């Protein structure tokens, strides 16, 4: 093990190198570029035996990854924003063919207007494409999730692709401290790759991606995809526990801070969870009963566990770094609201939209949100939907 | 190669597939065998069918290589007939035939002739 000062992208590229998959098919895009660049460098230097496929677009990147994974190779790619959007139709195919591809996603706004900065419009837009989604707060979590993704994706009860998110620039480009494992430790943790029905097995020829025909079995296959998602709930926890035994950093579906006696709980995802935690610590010194719940697993969504964790709160503030235009609120808000509908007590849930296109989220903005939640907790009427933090008024 | 001459290692038993629930299917909708395009009869797509003039044909095999659907049946180096269960009537065989030995006939007309 070692402690390194490294960018979020650098940490993720290192994790991928340490696993050393068979194939990487990737196209560089801001702010993911450093991952593609570093990995190409590892290949050029002979540090890894990975076959690097330099494709001409992200649609091709995901297509090549699908072909590679179907052939029986452990396969990775990485993307951001418009690249993620260009992969769109292939993302569904990777999931429905049950190919355990792993993909770091360095979250960035979607055009337009053209914007290269962080928000979650890309990955949140892909929340229903059948991939497992894990969100990391910082470079350390980006590194750790990138490694665990292989074990989760390749588990025989799951066999689904996994995307691991970190926030573009804020984490991907910032240098921070990361505890890294030795190459041998990572390789041992990831284990050997086992392929299912690989195309290159001439002893057992198979057809992958055939037409389901009219009146076929599409519906039944969709049911199996969701069963795999349900299985992933336990597998993500198992892998997170095992990773904790190795590193001392245990992972589950979410992490809480000071929520046991909290009247007010802020729910956040990605790097902002760290900012919220800092503010919560300050407000605790002022005697305010505030806590934070940081979501890691967004797909499959840990509904029951989150419902239980939030059951004691009077008011919940859900912070979304992307909007779902015309919906009741941001994607995290609608998930949390639906989860809490099944609770015995119904806390008021208020949605904050922040950070779109990389707009800064200052501690004052979070404190302002908490003030609003306090009003709601005191019984004052507060609108449920879409309070924008640090947006210019007028 | 004629259909009957093909050998298959093992046949994927899908006789009961109409009753299969999600748990019965292969992961990722994979088809766990090869060569099963044979089982999918596509001859019904055809609006024209190839008809061979036996006097003109000299078994040169150009149609065999040009056919995009393996629908030219050959046995003992001789062109035997067309596999009408799979021939989609594209007409390429007739186009490439150097002796004009293959003509495309309207499918309905051909069926009526067959009935007689």
DSSP string, A39-58: HHHHHHHTS--PEEEE-SSH
Low-confidence ranges of chain A (pLDDT < 50): none
Instruction: Answer whether A2-247 and A254-388 agree in fold.
Output: yes
Measured distance CA(A284)–CA(B11) in Å, rounded: 68
Whether pLDDT at B5 is above 80: no
Whether pLDDT at B98 is above 50: yes
Contact residues, chain A, for B8 at CB < 8 Å:
none
Q: Which residue pairs, CB below 8 angstroms and at least 24 apart, start in A303-308?
A: A303/A335, A303/A338, A303/A339, A303/A342, A304/A339, A305/A253, A305/A254, A306/A253, A306/A254, A306/A336, A306/A339, A307/A339, A307/A340, A307/A342, A307/A343
* pLDDT (0 to 100) of residue B39: 83
* pLDDT (0 to 100) of residue B2: 39
Q: What is the pTM of this model?
A: 0.91
Whether pLDDT at B1 is above 60: no
Residue of B nearest to A221 (CA): B22
Cross-chain residue pair A196–B21, CB shorter than 8 Å: no
Minimum-distance CB partner of B20 among A196, A210, A220: A220
Domain ranges of chain A: 2-247, 254-388
Minimum-distance CB partner of A96 among B23, B28, B33: B28
Measured distance CA(A61)–CA(A63) in Å, rounded: 5
Contact residues, chain B, for A159 at CB < 8 Å:
27-28
* pLDDT (0 to 100) of residue B9: 60
Minimum-distance CB partner of A159 among B20, B27, B31: B27
Cross-chain residue pair B30–A206, CB shorter than 8 Å: yes
Residues A268-290: tens digit of each pLDDT: 999 999 999 999 999 999 999 99
Residue of A nearest to B21 (CA): A220
Contact residues, chain B, for A197 at CB < 8 Å:
26-28, 30, 32
Whether pLDDT at B6 is above 60: no
Cross-chain residue pair B27–A220, CB shorter than 8 Å: no
Minimum-distance CB partner of A206 among B20, B21, B32: B32
Contact residues, chain A, for B27 at CB < 8 Å:
98, 159, 196-197, 224
For chain B, which domains are there?
41-116 (3.30.70.20)
Contact residues, chain B, for A223 at CB < 8 Å:
22
Tell me yes or no: is domain A254-388 CATH 3.40.50.920.
Answer: yes
Whether pLDDT at B18 is above 50: yes
Q: Which H helix or E strand runs over A91?
A: helix A88-96
Cross-chain residue pair B29–A210, CB shorter than 8 Å: yes
Minimum-distance CB partner of B28 among A98, A205, A220: A98
CB A90 within 8 Å of CB A60: no
A·B CB contacts under 8 A: 56
Minimum-distance CB partner of B25 among A99, A206, A217: A217
* pLDDT (0 to 100) of residue A28: 97
Selected for mutation to probe chain B from A92, A97, A201, A220 (highest B CB count within 10 Å) is: A220
Cross-chain residue pair A205–B30, CB shorter than 8 Å: no
* pLDDT (0 to 100) of residue B86: 96
Q: What topology is assigned to A2-247 in CATH?
A: Rossmann fold (3.40.50)
Interface subset of B 30-89, CB within 8 angstroms of A: 30-36
């Amino acid at each position: 093990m070692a402690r390194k000062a490294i960018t979020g992208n650098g940490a993720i590229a290192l994790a991928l190198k340490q696993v050393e998959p068979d194939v990487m098919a990737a196209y560089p895009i801001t702010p993911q570029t450093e991952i593609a660049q570093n990995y190409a460098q590892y290949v050029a230097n002979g540090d890894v035996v990975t076959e690097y496929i330099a494709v001409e677009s992200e649609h091709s990147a995901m297509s090549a990854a699908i072909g590679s994974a179907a052939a029986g190779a452990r396969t990775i790619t990485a993307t951001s924003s418009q690249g993620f959007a260009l992969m769109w139709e292939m993302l569904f195919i990777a999931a429905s063919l049950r190919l355990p591809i792993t993909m770091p996603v360095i979250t960035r706004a979607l055009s337009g207007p053209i914007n290269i900065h962080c928000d979650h419009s890309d990955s949140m837009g892909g929340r229903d494409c059948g991939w497992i989604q894990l969100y990391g707060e910082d470079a350390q979590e980006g590194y750790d999730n990138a490694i665990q993704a292989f074990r989760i994706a390749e588990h025989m009860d799951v066999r689904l692709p996994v995307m691991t998110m970190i926030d573009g620039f804020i984490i991907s480009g910032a240098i921070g401290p990361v505890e890294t494992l030795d190459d041998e430790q990572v390789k041992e943790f990831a284990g050997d790759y086992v392929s299912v029905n690989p195309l290159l097995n001439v002893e057992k020829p198979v057809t992958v991606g055939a037409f389901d025909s009219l009146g076929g079995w599409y519906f039944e296959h969709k049911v199996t995809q969701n069963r795999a998602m349900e299985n992933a709930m336990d597998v993500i926890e198992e892998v997170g526990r095992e990773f904790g035994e190795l590193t001392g950093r245990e992972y589950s579906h979410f992490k809480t801070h000071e929520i046991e006696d909290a009247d007010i709980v802020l729910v956040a995802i990605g790097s902002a969870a760290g900012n919220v935690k800092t503010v919560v610590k300050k407000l605790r010194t002022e005697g305010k009963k505030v806590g934070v719940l940081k979501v890691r697993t967004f797909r499959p969504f840990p509904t029951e566990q989150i419902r239980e964790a939030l059951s004691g709160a009077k008011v919940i503030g859900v912070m979304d770094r992307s909007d779902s235009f015309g919906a009741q609120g941001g994607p995290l808000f609608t998930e949390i609201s639906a989860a809490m509908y099944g609770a015995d007590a119904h806390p008021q849930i208020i949605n904050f939209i922040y950070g779109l296109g990389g707009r800064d989220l200052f501690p004052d903005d979070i404190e302002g949100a908490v003030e609003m939640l306090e009003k709601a907790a005191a019984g004052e009427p507060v609108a449920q939907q879409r309070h924008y933090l640090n947006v210019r008024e007028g | 190669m004629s259909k009957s001459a093909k050998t298959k290692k093992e046949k994927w038993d899908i006789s009961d597939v109409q009753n299969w629930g999600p748990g019965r299917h292969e992961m990722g909708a994979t088809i766990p065998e090869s060569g099963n395009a044979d089982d999918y009869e596509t001859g019904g797509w055809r609006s024209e069918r190839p008809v061979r003039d036996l006097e003109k044909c000299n078994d040169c095999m150009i149609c065999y290589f040009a056919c995009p659907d393996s629908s030219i049946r050959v046995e003992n180096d001789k062109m035997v007939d067309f596999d009408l269960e799979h021939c989609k009537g594209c007409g390429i065989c007739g186009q490439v035939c150097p002796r004009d030995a293959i003509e495309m006939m309207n499918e309905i007309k051909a069926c009526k002739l067959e009935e007689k």
